[in-house]
Structure 1
Amino acid sequence: MNRTIELIKTIYEIKQLEDFEEPQIALAGRSNVGKSSLINCLAGRKGLAKISSKPGKTRSLNYYRVEPDGFFLVDLPGYGYAKCSKAERAKWAKLIEAYIQGNTQLKAVAVLLDSRLTPQKLDLELTSYLKSLGIPVIPVLTKSDKPKQRDRAKIQNQWKDILQQDKAPLCFSSKTGMGEAKLWDILAAHAAL
């Protein structure tokens, strides 16, 4: 299927939040985990989502419409970024919480996890929080072209056990396209629920 992704709306403050009728899949992850690269890879073009060598570039909720499926990918600000004020981090946290809670169109959250790192405290907190709200978690191991297959499998199994899911997290690489077709299938299936 030929899909297109287009940036429709950018939200910086809670008062800007609006209800969309279309299903939504949120993208969450630590700063510098590769959310923007993943969006650009799925879109098949560079520059749709801004990429920076400095973590914490995404400071807003970015709504990307996926056609012809008719759902939104919603890019959330990265977490764990230390080079901004506590006040700004608190503002992002409130915005994300306001977006997630009570959002009937939010079908799942794709949590992007760095395949080179053992499970991190902030990732564990996020996945636990989402599960407590009954929101399905789609674990995606980014930068999966970097570690050796053995090391990648170890991280996959750790996350599979932590999340108590039947399937191991999807391995994805925006550099090589690893897992791209499978990720589309997973996102579209959740959006259709």
Structure 2
Amino acid sequence: MEVHNVTMEISAVSPAQYPVTNLPEIALVGRSNVGKSSLTNTLINRKGLARTSAQPGKTQTLNFYNVEDALYFVDVPGYGYAKVSKKQREAFGEMIETYITSRAQLRGVVSLVDARHAPSEEDIMMYEWLHYYKVPILVVATKADKIARGKFNHAESVIKKALNFDSEDSDFQFFSSQTKYGKDEVWQWIENHMPNKKNA
């Protein structure tokens, strides 16, 4: 998609605050510091619209980015950050579950993991949860520039084995915000899912 116009339209914590629209939505989930903001900025050709933070866990709302009046990217609060209290984590979990299980406009979820490491327990739980709800998933292994190209197959195997990856509802892509590797493939997956209806 050619991207020229993007606005961060709404920050929401409950359905009453979601945009009133029929545009398709793609949610982005992942651990704090995995690179969600960097992926978003790369996809929309901006350097700082999605803010990267030196304080992981700072995003505490669902942030809706209107992309070309064609779809929304929904940036979901990062998980797995120790300095966020248990009460906050529970509130985030409830907010995310409400959005993903009730939002008819949701067409798929981009689930980010770090290409350099095996998925964390939280990564695995998120993947299993999305799979349970039959949400189309693109697993994006970020920071791919940090590993040698010759080690991609091994890294992919480690990630997929840990997630118990199911190719029926899931796809996989390496990505680097530094080199833009994988950008076109991520966009292709998003565009392939935009017309589809979420399973009721």
SS at match of 1:46: coil
Q: CA RMSD in A?
A: 1.8
The one-character-per-residue Cα deviations of 1:139-172 (angstroms, maximum 9, x if unpaired) are 1011110012233321212334521217862110
Structure 1 residues 104 and 142, CA gap change in structure 2 (3 angstroms)? same
The answer to whether the 8 A contact 2:26-2:72 is kept is: yes
Long gaps (5+) in structure 2: none
Q: Does 1:179 align with 2:177?
A: no
1:79-94 equivalences under 5 Å are 79-94=79-94
Q: Which moved more, 1:160-169 or 1:58-67?
A: 160-169
Counterpart mapping for 1:3-152 below 5 A: 3-4=3-4, 5-13=6-14, 15-17=16-18, 19-67=20-68, 70-152=70-152
* Structure 2 counterpart of 1:186, one-letter code: W
Asked if structure 2 preserves the Cα contact closer than 8 Å seen for 1:50 and 1:57, the reply is no
**1:38 Cα offset (Å):** 0.8
TM superposition shift of 1:15: 4.5
1-structure distance, mates of 2:14, 2:104? 19
TM-score (ref. length: structure 2) = 0.88
Paired AA for residue 163 in structure 1? F
Q: How far did residue 59 of structure 1 move?
A: 1.3
Query: How big is the shift at 1:24?
Result: 0.8
Equivalent residues of 1:159, 1:169 under 8 A apart: no
Deviations 1:92-141 (A, max 9, x none): 11111111112211111100010011122111111110111111111101
CA distance in 1, matches of 2:151, 2:59: 29
Identity %: 38
> What letter corresponds to residue 101 of structure 1 in structure 2?
T
- The 1-side partners of 2:50 and 2:77 are apart by 12
Aligned 8 A contact 2:28 2:36 in 1 = yes
Q: Give the C-alpha shift of residue 43 in structure 1.
A: 1.7
Change in CA separation of 1:96 and 1:143 when aligned onto 2, cut-off 3 Å = same
Q: Give 2:128's aligned amino acid.
A: S
Task: Please list every run of at least 4 consecutive aligned residues from structure 1 whose deviation after the TM superposition is greater than 6 angstroms.
Answer: none
Residue in structure 2 matched with residue 190 of structure 1 by the alignment: 193
Q: Deviations over 1:9-63 (max 9, x none)?
A: 1113454345531111100000100001111111212110111222112211011
Number of residue pairs matched by the alignment: 192
Q: Retained in 1: the 8 A contact 2:22–2:105?
A: yes
SS at match of 2:144: coil
SS of 2:102's equivalent?
A: coil
Corresponding letter in the other structure for 1:180: K
Q: Which runs of 5+ in 1 are unaligned?
A: none
Structure 1 residue aligned with 2:173: 170
C-alpha distance in structure 1 between counterparts of 2:71 and 2:3, whole Å: 11
Bigger mean CA deviation after superposition, 163-172 or 93-102: 163-172
Instruction: Tell me which moved more, 144-153 or 108-117.
Output: 144-153
In structure 1, C-alpha distance between the alignment counterparts of 2:35 and 2:94, rounded to whole Å: 23
